[in-house]
Structure 1
Amino acid sequence: MRHRLVRWGRWLHRRADDIASIMLAVMFAAFICQVVFRYVLNLPVGWVSELSIVMWLWLVLWGAGFVLREQDEIRFDMIYGSVGPKARRAMTILFCLAALFLYGWSLPAAWDFVTFMKVQETSYLDIRYDRLFSIFILFAVAILVRYAWLLVCAVRGERDESADGGERS
């Protein structure tokens, strides 16, 4: 059963990576369109700039929530790397508890803000802001799930196989 879950997790991770790649391609194409319209055709248009900003917002939060692995995240390696396995485990547990508390505590307020923003739309693409900012809710839920899983693994004293993509060194 665990092997099947790990396989399913790897497949989902690859699909999340594919979506991030598509967002990056759209952002790049919008940037090229902006350069062509502004400097070649001397016809500045706002929708390409807005599309680039929307893709950047979604790409950053999508990538942080679904694409980055635990080992890819920035941490204070000088401290974490200089202590033994028991201290690392304790640090992981404390950090997971802090992240779960902070993201869990802020989630209702974030939900209220995102749902409130349905009253406004973007200037050029007419995207409602609640839809635009909904990526933050997905990001926060993904972070809550990730750190709950890491907390369970740390409490059990297990190494999370998804943190290194299932590769063993």
Structure 2
Amino acid sequence: MTHKLQSGLVWLKRGVDAVGVLLFLGAFTGFLVQVFFRYVLNQPLAWTEEAVMIAFIWTVFWAGAFMVPIREHVTFDVVYDFAPAKVKRFLALGTMILLVAAFAILVPYTFEYLEFLTRKKSNVLRIPKVWIFSCYLLFLVAFAIQGIYRIYGLLRPDWRDQI
């Protein structure tokens, strides 16, 4: 990989991380505003609850898609941890192939559901629901691409680095 490309990827990763941090800060700030208005001023705000929910949904899917490396996602690794390296490779390949296939199958259904949501808006902020839930499609595609990249790494001669 050239130095210029590697430098660009570092900046892209920083940008992606910054977006995730801003999404989380938005959710947290909205939560604090909500608590202050509800319990200090005794005047609850309707929009903060919805804004926090939207920011939280985006934060979770954004982080899952771009910030958490695929090998650090939640796993059931009781058998995997005790297996020899070749079995780990086989298990990792199998699970990645299944995940990529499942996510690929989900993409058209997600498009269909998002198309259905184009006519609906959130109750308070009136944001089109397609914008609220499109982060799921982003997650599906980004995670599948990471899965394909991991499969590629597991099929290379230096596959032990992927375990």
Please report the TM-score for the alignment, with normalisation by the length of structure 2.
0.91
Q: Unaligned stretches of 5+ in structure 1?
A: 164-169
1:56 aligns with 2:33: no
How far residue 116 of structure 1 moved from its aligned partner, in angstroms, is: 1.4
Please tell me whether the aligned partners of residues 62 and 135 of structure 1 are also in contact (alpha carbons under 8 angstroms).
yes
Q: CA RMSD in A?
A: 2.1
Greater CA drift, 9-18 or 121-130: 9-18
Output the CA distance in 2 between the equivalents of 1:79 and 1:14: 35
Question: Shift of the alpha carbon at 1:87?
Answer: 0.9
Q: Tell me the residue number matched to 2:86.
A: 86
Does 1:143 pair with 2:143? yes
Tell me which amino acid in the other structure corresponds to 2:48. V
What is the alpha-carbon distance in structure 1 between the residues aligned to residue 117 and residue 79 of structure 2? 41
Whole-angstrom CA distance in 2 between matches of 1:134 and 1:73 = 21
> 1:157 deviation in Å?
3.7
Counting only pairs closer than 5 Å after superposition, residues 40-51 of structure 1 correspond to structure 2 as: 40-51=40-51
Identical-residue share of aligned pairs (%):
25
Note if contact 2:30-2:52 (Cα within 8 Å) is conserved in structure 1.
Answer: yes
C-alpha distance after superposition, 1:61-118 (max 9, x if no partner): 0000100013321222321111111111111111111011100011100111012101
CA shift for structure 1 position 160? 9.1
Aligned to 1:166: none
1:133 aligns with 2:97: no
Task: Answer yes or no: is 1:153 the counterpart of 2:143.
Answer: no
Q: Conserved in 1, the CA contact under 8 Å of 2:85 and 2:160?
A: no
Q: d(CA) in 1 for partners of 2:118 and 2:99? A: 28
Rate the CA distance shift 1:156–1:2 in 2: closer, same or farther, 3 A: farther
Note the C-alpha offset of 1:150.
0.5
Counterparts of 1:118 and 1:25, CA distance in 2? 27
> For structure 2, which runs of at least 5 residues remain unmatched after alignment?
none
Q: Give the match's secondary structure for 1:119.
A: coil
How big is the shift at 1:2? 5.9
Count of aligned positions: 163
For structure 1, which segment, 42-51 or 8-17, has the greater mean C-alpha deviation from structure 2 after superposition?
8-17
Pairing 1:106-125 to 2, within 5 Å after superposition: 106-125=106-125
